[in-house]
Structure 1
Amino acid sequence: MDQILAVDIGTQSLRAGILDGQLNLLERQQVPLTVRVSRGIHAEMDGEEIWSALVAACRRLDLRDRIGAVVLSTLCPSLLPLDGSGHPLHPVILHLDRRSEEEARWALQTIGEETFLNIAGNLPIPGGISLTSLLWLKNNAPEIYRRKDVCFGHAATLMLHRLTGRFLIDPSNASFTGLYDTVGYSDWDERLYGPLDIDPAKLPTVQHSNTIAGEILPGAAADLGIPKAIPVVTGANDTTCACVGAEVNAEGDLLNTSGTVDILVLCLDKPMVSPRHLLRTHAYPGKWLAMRTVGAGGGSLEWFRKNFCREIDKEEFYSSYLQQVLEHRPPLRASFRPFLSGNRHQVELATASFDNLTLDSTREEMLVALLDGIVSFQFDELDTWKNHVALNNSIKHVGGGATSCYTAFKQEKLTGFKLQMVGETTLAGAAKLAFDTLEKVC
């Protein structure tokens, strides 16, 4: 088998790429996805739109009939209840959603902070840990929860079921449910789902990222226009795949991803829990990833563009204006709290704000303050991490926002670390998982 179809489902778009055994990207198609924000704190996506986007992207790939396997990289968390036939019963509740603060508080009171951290590895952050969204549906759409055939998975579960007919979730996705033993790299844990009265029969089967989920269904192969009877590799969430693609696999390795979400990632040989960072399993058993996260990193930048730079075309803003501001930036006088979609490290709802603005403050000063707030919130965590782990002095900078001007801006915030601009690594990481998995089983 020479070629893999890697699928990366993000917040803004779905990308489908065909890669060869040397991880060269031979062809790529991208289809936009729609995030629907309402009431200020609801953020959803249509599950059927994700599948339709995959069909559209695959149909545009000229080399699709030559692939030998499919692998997924998916946004997370992305809670989605499915019926017994795999049809969505509610829109996907995204990581940007904050409607479930009441449920998060109840879960934290019921289980306790220490138990959550020592088993799940994370606190029940509203929307950021999908248990809270599941509880919100249980309280506000009980007819969904009461269904005997319901399965509460993530977007990955929908796609794996469409491809193979199985309700599955990988550990990196399960790590952000609040019901999985992330610290033990294990399975759904009764110490979590029991006190919360969550029926484990309503959860998908956890299957390792580097395993075969199944053989593609004939109908799915026909929809996508790809060969029949090829294997589907389970895959992982998008940040985990980015780490695989950037070779962030050893303890102390660091990665900084810039996209809709901005994340500083530390690879670990042993789980390290803290309310200051999120914890998930790596794609490889016996490895973990600590994550300091700004939920609306690139999302904050897009918010700024839409509200303060309406006369500037989107392409011009990102390709020209942003670079000019960073290269000739004004002194940093203002500051920004980067919580437009809340703080992914606390249960209480946090909001964003600018401070130290005056009558002569310019939008360029505000833009620099916004970027400084995003970067500082992540990189300040390095001082804590280095007290526990010997850190690599190189940080891989990846993602669609990892431009040369933004990399240079971030580098100025770092002492003792070199930021290495790598570019997009998610598709390559997913493909590497697939090639390694297939080599192992063959």
Structure 2
Amino acid sequence: MFVGIDIGTFETKGVLVDETGAVLAEARRRHEISTPAPGRVEHDPETVWWGDLVHVADALMRHPRAGEVAGIGVSAIGPCVVAADEDLRPLRPAILYGVDTRASAQIETLTRRLGEDEILRRSGNTLTSQSAGPKIAWIKDEEPDVWRAARWFMTSQSWLVAKLTGEVVIDHGTAGYFHPLYDFRRGRWDVAGCEDFIEERRLPRIAWGDRIAGAVTPAAAAETGLPEGVPVVVGTTDSPAEAVGSGVVGSGDLMAMYGSSGYFIRVGETPAAADGLWAAPFVFEGTYVLAAGTSTAGTATRWLADLLALTDQADDVTFARLLELADASEPGARGVLALPHFAGERTPFQDPLSRAAIVGVGLEHTRADVARAVLEGVGHSIAEAILTFRRAGQELSRVVAIGGATKNPHIVGTVSAVTGLRQEVADTAGAAYGDAFLAALGVGAVDRPSDVGRWVGTRAAVEPDRQGRDVLQRDHEDFVELYRSLAPLQHRRTR
């Protein structure tokens, strides 16, 4: 038996899986983000991450076969920054991934200091809100007492694995987002030019995500109910774990994750950098990814449901109401167009100051048109991110869609209509399922990454809709022009 636990932006999920890939037990726990100031998004590691892990692990360990657990995998949102002391106590709330845009000044400073070409050579990326290095610099600049007291600067799953095993380790894939502190092609830390805010000894050791980090300690076993001494793999962030859990491990495969935000991973066999995309190692030795991300997807639908007074205590009722309302409109939302940049935007614009807009509304329009426009706007945002791969010359041999928003035909359908791509919707339990597979691989219960194909199936496929394709492709051109036209005004109003 294998345990996988994934901490997401708004929910933690765990699964208990046998050696054939069958899920025998699941457990979930909801949580919230903290937004203490504009551009700042945080979690409390102890109450959210560890508290959720304890809750979910305890629930899974009530299964009759829990005593057969042979390996554990953990993933979490990232790249986050956790400043912790020698005893792994967090010294401040964790700074989340690219949705947290607080380090804009540090990005500018480091880019001037090192030079964009050197950063790109070293990291395979330029600096953006997705970069963890500038966030460490922000702590040094804005909270010097915390910075001085910190023994470790870690990420989410590395902190959780350390809590479970006592081993401070980070996977290559997540270390690859600590730009400009990681040498992408040599696969090691390189803090040259950044010594004023980080020393290599304060960063975790680096290993591949499917390798064993250590074993569950007696203290962690007592707190979580997980068996003492069971191996724990190094793990990775939620998105690569989602890719593994959806069977995206082959060269040319693209994972399209429709979650609270959008995230997209294309797997390859050689390190490559491309303008507008993030380059990083993947989970397994000798594999690499180019990745993209949007800032809002499912969070926009939640905002929309609240705005239109559709919210019910049961999420499935809320979103059924939203879909029913949007169905009353038509493709193109009768001329209403939405830019869903509620928290800025990542790929391809990399613009933390962009904000949402709804245009083209007249007295003739209804709540249904607004609902349809926002859902299609999320689809346009995701489509633009996926098109960035194509512009970079990256072949997409297979597209696998996962996440809660795959149940929304107006979002997923817009993406296929605009890109012309067929999407397979994976039948998977998500990142936690990928974690369980990594645990099985780490202890030798499966032989190779491609064996995940025996675990994962497909529950649906989304084809480009000929009827709505023309109008949605025209709308997409206007979508990009809308962003570019509004950007100067948005920047003045949000600085």
In 2, Cα distance between equivalents of 1:118 and 1:375: 33
- CA 1:440/1:178 → structure 2, altered by over 3 Å: closer, same or farther? farther
User: What's 2:52 paired with?
Assistant: 53
Q: Does 1:430 align with 2:435?
A: yes
Specify whether residues 202 and 220 from structure 1 end up closer, same or farther in structure 2 by C-alpha distance, changes over 3 A only: same
Query: Is the aligned partner of 1:251 residue 2:255?
Result: no
The residue aligned with 2:284 is 284
1:104 match:
107
2:444 aligned with 1:439, yes or no? yes
Task: From 135, 145, 148, give the equivalent of 1:146.
Answer: 148
Structure 1 residues 122 and 360, CA gap change in structure 2 (3 angstroms): farther
SS in 2 for 1:161: helix
Instruction: State how 1:285-300 maps to structure 2 within 5 Å.
Output: 285-300=285-300
Cα deviation for residue 382 of structure 1 reads 4.5
Match of 1:172 in 2: 173
Instruction: Say if 2:28 is the partner of 1:30.
Output: yes
- Taking the TM superposition and a 5 Å limit, the aligned residue runs for 1:113-262 are 113-126=116-129, 128-147=130-149, 150-181=151-182, 183-184=184-185, 186-191=187-192, 193-194=194-195, 197-262=197-262
Residues 312/299 of structure 1: CA separation in 2 closer, same or farther (3 Å cut): same
Q: Which range is displaced more, 62-71 or 376-385?
A: 376-385
The Cα RMSD (Å) is 2.4
- Amino acid across the alignment from 1:44: E
Contact 1:101 1:347 in 2 (8 A): no
Asked if 1:385 corresponds to 2:383, the answer is: no
Q: Sort the Cα spacing of 1:272 and 1:352 in 2 relative to 1 into closer, same or farther, 3 A.
A: farther
* Distance apart, 1:311 and its partner CA: 5.7
Tell me whether 340-349 or 4-13 shows the greater mean CA deviation.
Answer: 340-349
Assess if the C-alpha contact under 8 Å between 2:161 and 2:167 holds in 1: yes
Please say which of residues 172-181 and 130-139 is displaced more in the overlay: 172-181
Aligned mates of 2:203, 2:71 — CA distance in 1: 26
1:120 is aligned with what amino acid? S
Corresponding residue of 2:471:
none
Q: Which amino acid aligns with 1:438?
A: V
Q: 1:107-152 deviations in whole A, cap 9, x for unaligned? A: 22222222222322232223x22222211110111112223x5211
Q: d(CA) in 2 for partners of 1:115 and 1:270? A: 20
Residues 238 and 336 of structure 1, relative CA distance in 2, 3 Å threshold: same
In structure 2, the residue matched to 1:68 is: 70
Hey, what does 1:421 align to over in structure 2? Answer: 425
Contact 1:411/1:419, CA 8 A, preserved across alignment: no
Q: 2:343 aligns with which of 338, 341, 344?
A: 341
Match of 2:374 among 353, 364, 370: 370
Q: Deviations over 1:62-106 (max 9, x none)?
A: 223331221111110221100000000000111221222111211
State the 1:348 CA deviation. 5.4
CA distance in 2, matches of 1:34, 1:15: 14
Q: Secondary structure at the match of 1:210?
A: coil
**1:188 deviation in Å?**
1.1
- Report if the CA contact (8 A) 2:172-2:281 is conserved: yes
In structure 2, the residue matched to 1:361 is 365
Paired residue secondary structure (2:265): strand
3-state SS, counterpart of residue 146 of structure 1? helix
Q: Percent identity of the aligned residues? A: 21
Task: Provide the residue aligned with 2:463 in structure 1.
Answer: none
Distance in 1 (CA, whole Å) between partners of 2:158 and 2:85 is: 12
Q: Which segment drifts farther, 231-240 or 179-188?
A: 179-188
Mark the CA change 1:185 to 1:310 in structure 2 (over 3 Å): closer, same or farther: farther
Structure with greater helix percent: 2
Verify the 8 A CA contact 1:245 1:430 in the aligned structure 2.
yes
**Structure 2 gap segments, 5+ residues each:** 448-495
How much does 1:205 deviate?
A: 1.3
One-letter amino acid of the counterpart of residue 22, structure 2: N
CA contact (8 A) 1:105 1:347 kept: no
SS in 2 for 1:402: helix
What is the Cα deviation at residue 411 of structure 1? 5.4
TM-score, length basis structure 2: 0.82
Shift of 1:44: 0.9
1:201–1:52 CA distance, 2 compared to 1 (3 A): same
